[in-house]
Structures are given as C-alpha cells and as structure tokens.
Amino acid sequence: MKIQPFQAIGSLLLAAVIGLTGVATVSSGHAPTTQPSDASKQESLPALVEASFQKLLEVEPSLKTWKIMGMRKSPISISGDIRGVWTFTLHETGNATDRGKRFAEVQFDSTTGILLHYHGGPFPAAKVTSRQKDYYLKRGQELMSQLLGSENTKQFKTVSNQSIDTGDTNGFTRELSDITFKAEKEQITLSIDSDGRLEQYHRVRLPTQKK
C-alpha cells in the first residue's frame, strides 16, 4: 500500500500521543448531551484502522490536505455502541478558530477497523444540480464498494430508504441524497451531494430484541 504523507503525519502525531478529549453520548427518548472527558490512551493505531482510513482518503482525497486535530481511543462509539473505537478529528486549516472552515470526524472499530462514522464537508458544489435517484443510488453503491470492499458490500443489499433534499448549508444551496443500505443486523446511511461526494456515513447496529 502506498504510504500517504497524510498517514505519516498522522503516525507522527500519534507517536507523540495527543492528549484529546473524548465524547460519546447516546440517549433514548431525550436528546444526547455532551460531557467533557479525557480518555486518550497510549496505544498504537491498529493496522486495520489505518487501512480503513486509507480507503476513506481514496474516496475523499481532499482530506489528505486537511490537518489532523487529534486521534483518540474510547470504549463507546458516537451511536452509543460499547466497542473500542478510534476517532480522528480533522480540520481544513488546522486552526479550529478559523471561521467558516470545515471539520471532519471519522470513527473506526478498533478491533476490526471497520468505518463506523464519517462526517465531512459540506464540500462546495459548483452549482445546484438536480440529479435523479438512480444517480445517487449508483454512486452510493460505488462508495460502499470502495469503503467496504465488494464482498462486504453484498451484505448490505437492501435499500431501505432514499431521499433527495435541497437545502442551504453554510450559505450555499446544494442537493443531498440520503440512502440507507440494510444488512441483517446493521445498516449504513450515506449522504451524497450532487457532485457525488460522500458527506456523511453512519454504520449502526439494528436494535436487538430482549429475550
């Protein structure tokens, strides 16, 4: 695998063990709340996580120029799953006080390296383009295949939901499509803009019934 400069920077930063704060809260019924914490651990980044991150960079190469603001390990995911996760926070300029600049957050399962959550963008769209559902569906399948590999993508064969909305984000109007791909026990929801860029990715477990 070709080593990206971005990865090297990441590894260096990691080696220095960045002290970061970790937050993960989920709530049923009421809204989630955030609580400050400090849970960074001196632990090396698993190879599977690194490989998974590399796949994301291939999907969204512009992230390679963004700055890593931190990497942290925690025992709970954004969606409230109790599992070891690695979270990377990236910023367009590296200065979080720069107004109007974007940030991204990526979360991976620490054992399997699978991508659990990604929130990037919004990426500037050249103009408002009206796309058909088929365009987004095809693009969604491509992105799934790039991120998960074609074999794993086969599990997520059902498209349970698809919507196309035009909205105003950060001062510019753009079109976004949300598509949910369902497997037996999990689902992945993608948000794709009219340029075909992945803006959000959320992989969550479907609720388990109590016996």
x-or-dash string of contact with another protein, 79-118, rule CB under 8 A: -xxxxx----x------xx-----x-x---xxx-------
Integer Cα distance of 54 and 143 in angstroms? 14
Contacting residue, 119, 137, 162, 204, with another protein by CB under 8 A:
119
- Of 19 and 124, nearer to another protein (C-beta) is 19
- Of 141 and 169, nearer to another protein (C-beta) is 169
x-or-dash string of contact with another protein, 4-33, rule CB under 8 A: ---------------xxxxxxxxxxxxxxx
x-or-dash string of contact with another protein, 41-70, rule CB under 8 A: ----------------------------x-
Does 76 bind another protein (CB under 8 A)? Our answer is: yes
Instruction: Please name which of 64, 184, 179, 56 lies closest in space to residue 108, comparing C-alpha atoms.
Output: 56
Show the 3-state SS of 62-113.
HHHHCEEEEEEEEEECCCCCEEEEEEEEEECCCCCCCCCCCEEEEEEECCCC
Does 75 bind another protein (CB under 8 A)? Our answer is: yes
CB 179 within 8 Å of CB 190: yes
H-helix or E-strand spanning residue 177: strand 172-182
